[in-house]
Amino acid sequence: DAKTTQPPSMDCAEGRAANLPCNHSTISGNEYVYWYRQIHSQGPQYIIHGLKNNETNEMASLIITEDRKSSTLILPHATLRDTAVYYCIVRVAASFQKLVFGTGTRLLVSP
């Protein structure tokens, strides 16, 4: 699985959009980009994933650059409950469910 690089921490004001970047310059053509988050004292929570097209669901939007070397997770209106560690993961689609987590980005949403 390709490696990812994320900033260690970011701040965001409540109600504003949070844009979390991820670099995955060695991504292969068959690797997907996944985002999970981990709120304190809980297990990781799936947010969204994509291959090459932009994706949106009820939680967030995922923007993947055309060359697929980087992506951005967008939380459109951050709330205090979005304070968490966000993990960007790339992996091949398979029934084998191993995820390789890095250290992620710690997002702090403030009033």
Partner 1 sequence: ETGVTQSPTHLIKTRGQQVTLRCSSQSGHNTVSWYQQALGQGPQFIFQYYREEENGRGNFPPRFSGLQFPNYSSELNVNALELDDSALYLCASSLGGLANEKLFFGSGTQLSVL
Answer for which of 24, 87, 107, 109 binds partner 1 (CB under 8 A) is 87
Q: Give the integer Cα–Cα distance in Å for 30 and 109.
A: 34
Structure tokens at 36: 């999970």
Scanning 11-19, 52-60, 67-75, 98-106 for contacts with partner 1 by CB under 8 A, the matching segment is 98-106
Scanning 20-28, 54-62, 75-83, 99-107 for contacts with partner 1 by CB under 8 A, the matching segment is 99-107
In the chain, the DSSP E strands lie at 9-13, 18-23, 31-38, 45-50, 55-56, 61-64, 70-75, 84-92, 105-110
Q: Give the integer Cα–Cα distance in Å for 100 and 47.
A: 16
Q: How far is the CB of 100 from partner 1 (least distance, A)?
A: 7
* Residue with Cβ nearer partner 1 (18 or 47): 47
Q: Give the integer Cα–Cα distance in Å for 98 and 30.
A: 16
Q: Is 49 in the site for partner 1 (CB under 8 A)?
A: yes
Which 17-46 positions form the footprint of partner 1 (CB under 8 A)? 32, 36, 41-46
Binding site for partner 1 (CB under 8 A): 32, 36, 41-46, 49, 87, 93-104
